[in-house]
Amino acid sequence: MATRSALINVMEKAADKASRGLKRDFGELENLQVSRKGPADFVSAADLKAEKTIKEELAKARPGYGFLMEESGTQPDSDGSGRRWVVDPLDGTTNFLHGLPHFSISIALEERGEIIAGLVYDPIKNDLFHAERGIGAFHNGRRMRVSARSRLGDCVIGTGAPFLGHGDRPRFLGEVDAITEKTAGIRRWGSAALDLAYIAAGRFDGFWEWGLSRWDVAAGIILVREAGGYVSEVNGKPINPESPSILASNNNIHSDIMKLLRKPLSNQKAP
């Protein structure tokens, strides 16, 4: 049954405390202060409050660890552990602000750049996903596995579209065309952390997206790996904190999806 270490308890407590504020704010959206960081890049008082709560809780429990957080940036570790928390306090802000009940809190722990634990929590559906390196991946305390599907025609693939003012839309549309032609369908749900958690849980069979940041994917990456899936860049290269793209799936379809995504890329004019 449940394998929850002290470390996961710390992460879960921080996520749980922040989620109470998020749920309250989600019920009173008309009173929420919202500002823009870019053309379609919103941040609200809910994001900021959740981030503050998570940071306080994590720092209380593990005082020397560093941070990489979406809204407040980086802070190096002060204890020589080489460990840092990688936090997206609200993944799916656009959904949140539109009253769409699909968003999450994402917390990962890195040690010298390697992800060693991850937690993604959807407070509306009460879905808690967590993983620790070498121990496994769990959904609400029960071990989870990626899907076993191997025929592309049976597979559902998640993705995210380039944001207004960012990214290569023609390339993305080519990729969507190639994936749509061969699979059971695409979903574009707006929380990359949950997209990855859904692969780990065997709900989605694959996911790709361009232009994400480490805090969007760090927790999801270890969920997928520990659930038996594979994560790389879209071109198959190993994933790293600066990767421009991510492709995650069960092992059976990874190279098939990669080939489909490469097709539209090779049709592109050289930059």
212 is in an annotated binding site: no
Beta carbon nearer to Ca ion, 43 or 152: 43
**Residue 191 in contact with ligand 2AM, rule: CB under 6 A:** yes
Output the smallest distance, CB 44 to ligand 2AM, in A: 10
**Residue 108, amino acid:** A
Token pair recorded at residue 145: 């596995």
33 exposure class (CB count in 10 Å sphere: 0-12, 13-18, 19+): exposed
68 is in an annotated binding site: no
Are the beta carbons of 16 and 126 closer than 8 angstroms? no
88 is in an annotated binding site: yes
At residue 171, φ and ψ (nearest 5 deg) are: -60, -45
Distance between terminal CA atoms of the chain? Answer: 52
C-alpha–C-alpha distance, residues 257 and 199, integer Å? 14
**Residue 178, amino acid:** A
The size of the interface with ligand 2AM (CB under 6 A), counted in residues, is 15
**Residue 51 in contact with ligand 2AM, rule: CB under 6 A:** no
Beta carbon nearer to ligand 2AM, 62 or 129: 129
**Residue 163 in contact with ligand 2AM, rule: CB under 6 A:** yes
Beta carbon nearer to ligand 2AM, 62 or 158: 158
Task: Using the rule CB under 5 A, give the single segment among 4-12, 76-84, 93-101, 132-140 that binds Ca ion.
Answer: 93-101
Coil/strand/helix, residue 77: coil
Beta carbon nearer to Ca ion, 93 or 250: 93
**Residue 104 in contact with ligand 2AM, rule: CB under 6 A:** no
**Residue 88 in contact with Ca ion, rule: CB under 5 A:** yes
**Residue 88 in contact with ligand 2AM, rule: CB under 6 A:** yes
**Cross-strand partners of 248:** 207, 231
25 is in an annotated binding site: no
**Residue 41 in contact with ligand 2AM, rule: CB under 6 A:** yes
Beta carbon nearer to ligand 2AM, 62 or 201: 201
Are the beta carbons of 50 and 105 closer than 8 angstroms? yes
C-alpha–C-alpha distance, residues 20 and 180, integer Å? 38
The site map against ligand 2AM for 196-225 (x = CB under 6 A) is: -------------x------x---------
216 is in an annotated binding site: yes
Are the beta carbons of 131 and 137 closer than 8 angstroms? yes
Non-local (6+) Cβ contacts of 236 within 8 A are: 247, 255, 258
- Per CB under 5 A, residues contacting Ca ion are 70, 88, 90-91, 93, 216
Residue stretches of the annotated binding site = 70, 88, 90-91, 216
